[in-house]
């Protein structure tokens, strides 16, 4: 039997129309469940849930909560597919991407499947895929939109996103890395799809290191990630990232921000919290 896939798009505010447009081309695709999780959604859309389901075959789930990880956990809870594909509203997906994924899922069931991202605004890859993404350190090179997780397995092991991490919190990044480390700790096997499965704007200028390394919240997030990696590797990351932060900022405060993230872990918020 062919595995089914839940495409779960997290969105907020007026971007919900973009999320619906992203999924609509797949409304008749066999084996796909289409979900949009909308935080701060316009009131007009709450009255159109049944219409969107009947006309577009998309399940719209309005959320009163705020925070990307809360949206991800709501998706895990709502998904009925064998796998859940965690998506944002600014990605692009083609029919051939879906076929690549279906082939991989059939060959290696009950794995965490990790694909690759191509740039949607220029030619090339979103990141350097010549570097290994295996092991505790390799998992730090993975983005959430590359992840297809076996729904039953992650529920069985109770793996969810830490809702005190991610956009909308004081630690705006690293939630997918912590999620994957938890999956690794649970013993869920990984499979790497060495093909592109999705497009995303590369925004090359915005993603220059000099921007991220000067953001105290991003630095604190890195410290938190290093703590989750743990052991000698975590300490090595702490030293490496501390030195890089000092190079980019020329300020000892940057090192303090990373240390704060490492020594002051956020509390794990309940999945059912508002």
Same domain, 14 and 45: yes
Same domain, 44 and 142: yes
Same domain, 236 and 173: no
Nearest to 91 by CA among 70, 117, 123, 124: 117
The rounded distance, in Å, linking the Cα atoms of 59 and 202 is: 29
Strand partners, 32: 5
- On the CB side of 88, CA atoms within 13 Å amount to 16
Domain encompassing residue 227: 208-274
Tokens of residue 116, six digits: 């690759």
Predicted local confidence at residue 203, as pLDDT: 86
Same domain, 187 and 227: no
Contacts of 195 (CB under 8 A, 6+ apart): 100, 115, 116
Residue 227: C-alpha distances to residues 222, 252, 258, 261, 269 (Å): 9, 20, 10, 8, 18
**Distance linking the first and last C-alpha atoms of the chain:** 37
The rounded distance, in Å, linking the Cα atoms of 148 and 154 is: 11
Predicted local confidence at residue 269, as pLDDT: 54
The rounded distance, in Å, linking the Cα atoms of 42 and 81 is: 27
Same domain, 106 and 121: yes
The tens-digit pLDDT sequence of the chain (274 residues) is: 789 999 999 999 989 999 999 999 999 999 999 999 999 987 777 788 999 999 999 999 999 999 999 999 999 999 999 999 999 999 999 999 999 999 999 889 999 999 999 999 999 999 999 999 999 999 999 999 999 999 999 999 999 999 999 999 999 999 999 999 999 999 999 999 999 999 999 987 777 777 788 899 999 999 999 999 999 999 999 999 999 999 999 999 999 999 999 999 886 654 543 3
Same domain, 167 and 180: yes
Q: What is the CATH number of the domain that holds 29?
A: 3.90.550.10
Same domain, 202 and 232: no
Structural domain count, the chain: 2
Domain boundary among 186, 206, 226: 206
Predicted local confidence at residue 268, as pLDDT: 60
Same domain, 220 and 201: no
Nearest to 162 by CA among 243, 72, 51: 72
Residue 43: C-alpha distances to residues 22, 48, 61, 174 (Å): 21, 9, 13, 31
Predicted local confidence at residue 211, as pLDDT: 76
What number of other Cβ atoms are within 10 A of residue 201's Cβ?
Answer: 15
Same domain, 85 and 165: yes
């Amino acid at each position: 039997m062919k595995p089914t896939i839940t495409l779960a798009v997290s969105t907020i505010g007026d971007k919900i129309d973009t999320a619906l447009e992203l999924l609509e081309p797949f409304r008749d695709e066999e084996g796909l469940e289409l979900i949009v999780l909308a935080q701060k959604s316009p009131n007009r859309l709450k009255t159109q849930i049944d219409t969107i389901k009947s006309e577009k075959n998309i399940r719209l789930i309005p959320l009163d909560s705020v925070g990307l990880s809360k949206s991800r956990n709501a998706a895990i809870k709502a998904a009925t597919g064998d796998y859940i594909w965690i998506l944002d509203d600014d990605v692009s997906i083609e029919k051939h991407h879906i076929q690549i994924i279906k082939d991989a899922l059939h060959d290696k069931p009950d794995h965490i499947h990790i694909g690759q991202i191509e740039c949607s605004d220029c030619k090339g890859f979103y990141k350097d895929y010549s570097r290994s993404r295996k092991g505790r350190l390799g998992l730090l090179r993975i983005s959430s939109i590359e992840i297809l997780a076996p729904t039953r397995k992650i529920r069985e092991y109770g793996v969810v996103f830490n809702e005190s991490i991610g956009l909308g919190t004081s630690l705006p990044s690293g939630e997918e890395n912590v999620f994957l480390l938890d999956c690794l700790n649970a013993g869920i096997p990984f499979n790497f799809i060495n093909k592109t499965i999705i497009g995303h704007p590369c925004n090359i200028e915005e993603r220059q290191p000099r921007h991220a390394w000067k953001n105290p919240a991003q630095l604190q997030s890195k410290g938190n990630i290093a703590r989750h990696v743990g052991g000698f590797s975590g300490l090595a990351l702490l030293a490496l990232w501390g030195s890089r932060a000092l190079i980019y900022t020329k300020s000892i405060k940057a090192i303090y921000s990373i240390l704060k993230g490492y020594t002051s872990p956020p509390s794990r918020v309940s999945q059912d919290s508002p």
